[in-house]
Amino acid sequence: MRYLLFFSLFFSLHAMLRAQSNDPGVFRQGEKLFAAGDYEDAAQYFERFLAVGKTSRAHGQPLSVVKKVRGKNNRDPRQEAVYDLAECYRREHDYLRSEPYYKKACGFSQRAYPEARYWYGVVLRANGRYAEAIEAITQFEKEYNDMGPVLIDADRELAGLRFIQAQQGLHRDSAYRLMRQSGGNALTSAYAATVRGDTVVFTGIHAAREQVIPGTGKGPSAGKGLVTGKTQAVKAVYRNDLYEAVATGSDSSLLAGSRMMNRGDSGGLHNGLACFSPDGKTMLYTRWTKKEGVTHSAIWVSHESDTGWTAALPFDAAVNVPGYNSTQPFLTTDGRFLLFASDRPGGSGGYDLWTARVDTGLQVVTVTNLGDKINTPGDEEAPYYHPNSRTLVFASNGRVGMGGFDIYYSKGNFDLSGWTVPVNPGMPINSSKDDLYYVSTDQDNCWNTGWMSSDRETNCCLALYAVQQKNSQTIRGRVVDSATLRPLGGVQLVLKDARHPDKLLAGGSTDSLGQYRFVTHNVSRFGLTADKAGYMPGGGSWVVAMETGVDSLNTGDLLLARIPPPVAVVVHSSVIGNFPYKRSMLPVAARVVLDSLAEVLKHEPATVLQVEGYTDGIGGEAYNLKLGQERVNVCMQYLRNKGIDKRQLSGKSFGKCCPVAPDTIDGKDNPAGRELNRRVEYKLIRP
């Protein structure tokens, strides 16, 4: 499986790579290592074999005359070494070194090496030599007679090369800014980032040197290496482990401030490709080993404690099917679904993407294959889901793309299981080499900012890249009076990042037409506040559905409401008096109340007296409204005679609308109740 690697390389401390020029064992040892999947060490033997064959002779004969090689149909061992050396470098993803050997192998017998020209085209594509790659693979298809899977792969390679040419014609290099992370803690490589709160957790490759004396049986690789006798060598064992650093977005110094996570249970296994529960307290990650070219991987679980992470345990057996590989876990932000890659039975071929529905305790409920809309006969890996945009992002080498693993995306959700046809975002997200492990760092827009991994600038390993779209949005709108809809000039405006309220994006004011205009970059959610004297402050917030390049957003009219006058407050209310039936003559008792009110109004000229007249229920509506108003007028005239300004007085008749007692009881007249209803009330109102 790609990039679950166990790197090993020998460095001599003294005289190394000494071999007898007439020793065919050099070639045979290379073949043995090649068959075991140890391509790095095998390459050293083949290189030595070919170099000695050019310069040395023993007993008058060069090495190239040794023809009989068991299981190889008596092929020329020099040609075998050339082809196998090309294979070694390609399988170690060192395409530059692989290219000249495949080119040489294209001159050998097409019957003996039928796929040489195909793989030559593949490495040409990986090295960015697209026209030559098309020529090589086109010629391969003309010469190749087997209608098997290699021919299907060749068709896909040609389609991918045409896709690359189309992408180059679109000038997509300006769409994103990819910043390779460099420098930090002697890490050989870093890849597969995930975000945990304010930190970035990623997989780092570091070296641990171990001495070995070939032939002594001591050391992890005793008996291997291109040294003879008792010459000591140093084997640099490269190990994958989890690292973390403070999230710095586009800052290229992420690795410089990184440190290995405190786990303390490596157990000789590689550790990496992590994800976290929504609360960040549970970590799922991949642990693997690679023996004789075969990777064995499974998903493990650990919990955060006061002293670090607890000893890891294998995750649910429903995910880790015995005898098969499961890797690259990803938990959705709601904690309901676990995505992972696996070569377990029931898939479309190679590694497929699967989803496990889990409960709140991360116990697996069901496991489901994502289906042939997503999975292909090739490998699908590195799943990631962006919830707000409903975007599934993954890597695949089984689709038409730019070469190797490409990043793809599909829209949908896990409850409905309906996914759109995957789309390749093209350059520069993808390259002619391997691109995978994309995660977004923008909650609203999947592709605005994020992290990804690629080997586009290396000859061996994935590197970590910070991704940022190159986009700008022109935000325009108008501020108007909410009542009159007239434009308001001179309104003070402040534009801020809604997710980071302390981050000021821009400021300014509206023109005479009430218009404003701002330009932002890579801000998917913003808030706008507006302020003007005499108006209530206003504003709003918006989410920008960004695309690359230049876009615009019209926020429409922003309404500002005038500050209303002070609200009148009723400070006291009561009854002035009750009136006789059908009469509007002012009762004596009412005069006493009015005299008191007159004194209050004289001492508080801002206070207003509201007089309200009521009647009983006998008579028509119009009659009672008229009678009630006459009673109001009598009271107000009495107060004016006391010297009260008419601006402090207001009155209104309500007629028989609002009785305080029933006019009848059990169908019989209730005189006492009707008397209470024949009243005049007042309210003292202050601003």
Structure token pair of residue 392? 């599934």
Q: What is the mean pLDDT of residues 467-492?
A: 91
Structure token pair of residue 316? 């649910």
The 3-state DSSP composition of the chain as helix, strand, coil percent (nearest 5) reads: 25, 35, 40
Q: What is the DSSP letter of 572?
A: E
- Which backbone phi and psi does 672 adopt, to 5 degrees? -65, -40
Structure token pair of residue 398? 């089984």
Asked if the model's pLDDT at residue 147 lies above 90, the reply is: no
Asked if the model's pLDDT at residue 235 lies above 80, the reply is: no
Name 546's Cβ contacts closer than 8 Å, sequence gap at least 6. Answer: 445, 447, 448, 469, 471, 473, 522, 524
Three-state DSSP class for residue 631: helix
Cα–Cα distance, 391 to 372 (Å, whole number): 17
Looking at CATH, the fold of the domain delimited by 13-173 is given as 1.25.40
- pLDDT for the residue 609: 94
Looking at CATH, the fold of the domain delimited by 569-686 is given as 60s Ribosomal Protein L30; Chain: A; (3.30.1330)
Q: What is the mean pLDDT of residues 600-620?
A: 93
Q: Render pLDDT for 29-75 as a digit per residue (tens, 0 to 9).
A: 999 999 988 898 899 999 999 987 554 333 333 333 334 444 445 67
Pairing state between β 270-276 and 259-260: unpaired
pTM, two decimals, is 0.70
Q: How confident is the model at residue 649 (pLDDT cuts 50, 70, 90)?
A: very high
Q: What is the mean pLDDT of residues 329-350?
A: 94
DSSP, residue by residue, 476-492: EEEEEETTT--B-SS-E
- pLDDT for the residue 4: 47
Asked if the model's pLDDT at residue 557 lies above 60, the reply is: yes
Asked if the model's pLDDT at residue 101 lies above 90, the reply is: yes
CB 223 within 8 A of CB 214: yes
Q: What is the mean pLDDT of residues 400-412?
A: 93
Asked if the model's pLDDT at residue 16 lies above 60, the reply is: no
Name 507's Cβ contacts closer than 8 Å, sequence gap at least 6. Answer: 492, 493, 494, 495
Asked if the model's pLDDT at residue 22 lies above 80, the reply is: no
Asked if the model's pLDDT at residue 128 lies above 80, the reply is: yes
Asked if the model's pLDDT at residue 248 lies above 70, the reply is: no
Q: How confident is the model at residue 370 (pLDDT cuts 50, 70, 90)?
A: very high
Q: Which of 224-233, 244-253, 562-571, 584-593 has the highest mean pLDDT?
A: 584-593
Identify the CATH number of the domain defined by range 471-560: 2.60.40.10
Question: Which class is 177-201+249-469 in CATH?
Answer: mainly beta
Cβ neighbour number for residue 292 with a 10 Å cutoff: 9
- pLDDT for the residue 380: 97
Q: What is the mean pLDDT of residues 83-94?
A: 93
Nearest to 389 by CA among 446, 469, 451: 446
Cβ neighbour number for residue 668 with a 10 Å cutoff: 6
Q: Is 488 exposed, middle or buried (0-12, 13-18, 19+ CB in 10 A)?
A: buried
- pLDDT for the residue 145: 81
- pLDDT for the residue 21: 37
Q: What is the mean pLDDT of residues 645-671?
A: 91
Distances, alpha carbon 386 to alpha carbons 96, 248, 357, 363, 543, in Å = 36, 20, 17, 23, 16
- pLDDT for the residue 530: 94
Asked if the model's pLDDT at residue 480 lies above 70, the reply is: yes
Which residue type sits at 529? T
Q: What is the mean pLDDT of residues 286-295?
A: 86
- pLDDT for the residue 266: 60
Which residue type sits at 248? T
Asked if the model's pLDDT at residue 233 lies above 70, the reply is: no
Asked if the model's pLDDT at residue 7 lies above 70, the reply is: no
Q: List, by residue range, all CATH 1.25.40.10 domains of the chain.
A: 13-173
Cα–Cα distance, 401 to 163 (Å, whole number): 7
Between 137-141, 425-429, 614-618, the lowest mean confidence (pLDDT) is in 425-429
- Which backbone phi and psi does 612 adopt, to 5 degrees? -130, 130
Asked if the model's pLDDT at residue 641 lies above 50, the reply is: yes
Q: What is the mean pLDDT of residues 297-305?
A: 94
- pLDDT for the residue 549: 60
492-497 sheet: strands from edge to edge:
500-509, 492-497, 525-531, 538-543
Q: How confident is the model at residue 1 (pLDDT cuts 50, 70, 90)?
A: low
Cβ neighbour number for residue 671 with a 10 Å cutoff: 9
- pLDDT for the residue 684: 92
Q: List, by residue range, all CATH 2.115.10 domains of the chain.
A: 177-201+249-469
Between 91-105, 376-390, 566-580, the lowest mean confidence (pLDDT) is in 566-580
Asked if the model's pLDDT at residue 139 lies above 60, the reply is: yes
Which residue type sits at 342? S
Q: List, by residue range, all CATH 2.60.40.10 domains of the chain.
A: 471-560
Distances, alpha carbon 503 to alpha carbons 327, 496, 509, 546, in Å = 39, 6, 19, 20
Q: Sign of dihedral through CA atoms 330, 335, 337, 338?
A: positive
- pLDDT for the residue 495: 93
Q: Render pLDDT for 185-229 as a digit per residue (tens, 0 to 9).
A: 678 889 999 999 888 999 998 876 554 434 333 333 322 333 333
Three-state DSSP class for residue 152: helix
- pLDDT for the residue 114: 93
Asked if the model's pLDDT at residue 612 lies above 80, the reply is: yes
- Match 């290379």 to its residue by tokens: 30
Which residue type sits at 486? R
Distances, alpha carbon 86 to alpha carbons 7, 295, 314, in Å = 18, 22, 38
Residues 497, 500, 501, 507: what is their CA dihedral angle, to the nearest 10 degrees?
Answer: -30
Structure token pair of residue 26? 């050099």
- pLDDT for the residue 40: 87
Q: List, by residue range, all CATH 3.30.1330.60 domains of the chain.
A: 569-686
Cα–Cα distance, 579 to 590 (Å, whole number): 9
Q: Please report, rounded to a whole number, the percentage of residues in the chain having pLDDT higher than 90.
A: 57
Kindly report the average pLDDT of the chain as a whole number: 84
- pLDDT for the residue 234: 53
Q: What is the DSSP letter of 519?
A: E
Q: Render pLDDT for 279-288 as a digit per residue (tens, 0 to 9).
A: 999 999 999 9
Q: Sign of dihedral through CA atoms 577, 581, 582, 583?
A: negative
Q: What is the DSSP letter of 255?
A: G
CB 118 within 8 A of CB 87: no
Between 54-63, 86-95, 143-152, 609-618, the lowest mean confidence (pLDDT) is in 54-63
Cα–Cα distance, 154 to 149 (Å, whole number): 9
Asked if the model's pLDDT at residue 277 lies above 70, the reply is: yes
Cα–Cα distance, 183 to 512 (Å, whole number): 53
- pLDDT for the residue 427: 87
CB 82 within 8 A of CB 112: no
